[in-house]
Structure 1
Amino acid sequence: MEIKTLGEKLVLLKQRLAETENIRGKNNELLCKIEKSVERLAELIGGENEEKKLIEELAKEIGSVGKETAPSTPQRAHSTQNRMALLTEDEFAKTPQYMRGRMALEKVNAIIEDINTVFDRKRETLNTPKEKMTLETKRRIAQYRETDCKEVAGSVYITEQNIKDAMPLPALKQNPSYKNTFSILRHHGRIREVRKGGVLMVVLL
């Protein structure tokens, strides 16, 4: 293999390493590809020469990038084990009046409990072991997957259809306008909303 070709490959690998450092923690797949490329180059070169040494140095750089750990994000107080925390009296008091309307704190928290139940049921269904899946479970999982998109990738979310499927739930049944509470939950960082293809997805934060 010509040294010129190896040099060009080395430059390309260094560029990709720089890219990886910028997006570390978001794209580990790219890092794995670079590592494999370096290993392959080392195998092809063999022996002891300047190019070999340069690639070995690059391999060490990549290894250090892979070992670095991104700063951990403190767990938010409003999310406990993938469940929404209830609103406190202080939070409710600081909620704009136009959002609260005539709703009492107890009613908002009852709705949060029901929404948590919807999240729990969806999560339980998605985590069903294959050997325990019934046809109904498979059908429901397929239905859940229909709304998956990049905007909610890796997030826990529910749709209005998921809520309807989980009914009857006491607080949601008694409050048909429960969606009005979503603005309160958004305001306090409990959820975010994503609309895609006419479907409203409520993402747990």
Structure 2
Amino acid sequence: MSDLECISHHIYDKISSIQRLLDLSDVPQDKMKTLGQKILSLEILLEEFETTVGCQKDQLNQLKELEELFHNHVEILQHLKDNVPAHMSKEKGPEIEKEPSPNQDQVPNVEPIHHNIAKNIKCYVREMEFITTAEFESIPQYMKGRVSYSQINAAVQSINTAIAAKYKIIHQPVKTLKNHARKLLQRFKDQETKETKGQYFVVEEDLREFTQMKVDKRLQGIFNMLRHCQRLREQRGGRVTRYVLL
């Protein structure tokens, strides 16, 4: 039972007691004194009751403010949830630069590195950064057509998937590859040129091999948008178009 309810019951008891005294006829002097004391105590209880009611009102107002603040936070969180981009931009990792191979006469006498250490070295594979909303808005409307922001970044994700799968095969020792992977590796090497040496690129065959993307006119439009956003460049030759990451 709350303090407010206790006080209410106590006041009700006092009032009932006073009512019984008033109902008595020919009230003696000593009873009148008792009645006065009870009325005085009742006045004190009423003051306490009013104070308690005031405190309860203050608490109620504070609860209403908290409720309103809570609803505002819920609306903000719901807005954030509904508008989180499907793809977030990632920071570039450090690229491993290849040092130029020294001439035969300049090779120092160095002991060979243990093969276990070489196995633990992971080759870094570049990824294409996702398109930001600002970059997407900067693309001319005639170039975007009906392609949405989420669709262009879904294409970026598929390109990254193809690059990861392709260069995983390239970085593996040949003896660990199965027949199909060896054929792919040979194709990758045949498609290399002097201009693409040491760079990451994909061709349409890679997208068909490693992703579910449809290679059609719509994809060509996406490539144009990615080129506009400086995510890739095209390098043609040998009847193959190479999409080289920038």
The 1:145/1:190 distance shift into structure 2, 3 A limit, reads: same
Is 1:112 aligned to 2:153, yes or no? no
Deviations 1:144-192 (A, max 9, x none): 111111111111111111112224x2xx239762121111111111101
Distance apart, 1:100 and its partner CA: 0.7
Matched, 1:89 2:133: yes
* Structure 1 residue 131: Cα displacement: 4.0
Taking structure 1 as the reference length, what is the TM-score of the superposition? 0.58
Give the distance between the partners of 1:153 and 1:85, measured in 2 at CA. Answer: 21
1:96: Cα distance to partner?
A: 1.3
- 2:222 match: 181
Distance 1:98-1:154 versus aligned 2 partners, 3 A rule: same
**Which residue of 2 is the match for residue 123 of structure 1?**
167
- The one-letter code of the counterpart of 2:195 is E
Counterpart residue type for residue 228 of structure 2: H
Number of equivalenced pairs? 135
The counterpart of 1:191, out of the listed 229, 232, 235, is 232
Q: Which string of whole-angstrom CA distances, capped at 9 and with x for unpartnered residues, describes residues 12-59 of structure 1?
A: xxxxxxxxxxxxx99945xx45975xxxxxxxxxxxxxxxxxxxxxxx
Q: Tell whether 2:192 aligns with 1:151.
A: no
Q: Is the 8 A contact 2:136 2:149 kept in 1?
A: yes
- Work out whether residues 233 and 243 of structure 2, in 8 Å CA contact, stay in contact via their aligned partners in 1: yes
Q: Distance in 2 between matches of 1:130 and 1:198?
A: 27
Distance in structure 1 (CA, Å) of the matches to 2:195 and 2:148: 33
1:162 — aligned with what? Answer: 206
Letter in 1 for 2:225: I
Shift of 1:94: 0.9
Q: Which runs of 5 or more residues in structure 2 are unaligned?
A: 1-96, 107-123
SS at 1:151's partner residue?
coil
Matches within 5 A, 1:1-205: 28=100, 32-33=102-103, 36=106, 82-167=126-211, 169=212, 172-173=213-214, 177-205=218-246
SS class of match (1:202): strand
Q: Kindly state the Cα deviation for residue 129 of structure 1 after the two structures are TM-superposed.
A: 2.7
Q: How many Å apart are 1:88 and its aligned residue?
A: 0.9
RMSD of equivalent CA atoms:
2.9
Paired residue type of 1:189: Q
Alpha-carbon separation, structure 2, partners of 1:26 and 1:120? 19
- Say if 2:162 and 2:207, in contact at 8 Å, map to a contact too: yes
In the alignment, the residues of structure 2 paired with residue 202 and residue 34 of structure 1 have an alpha-carbon distance, to the nearest angstrom, of 35
Q: In 1, are the aligned partners of 2:202 and 2:244 still within 8 Å (CA)?
A: yes
TM-score by length of 2: 0.49
SS of the aligned residue for 1:84 comes to coil
Identity of aligned residues (%): 27
Cα distance in 2 for partners of 1:117, 1:126 equals: 14
- Pick closer, same or farther for the CA change 1:34–1:173 going to 2, 3 Å: closer
Deviation, 1:127, is 1.4
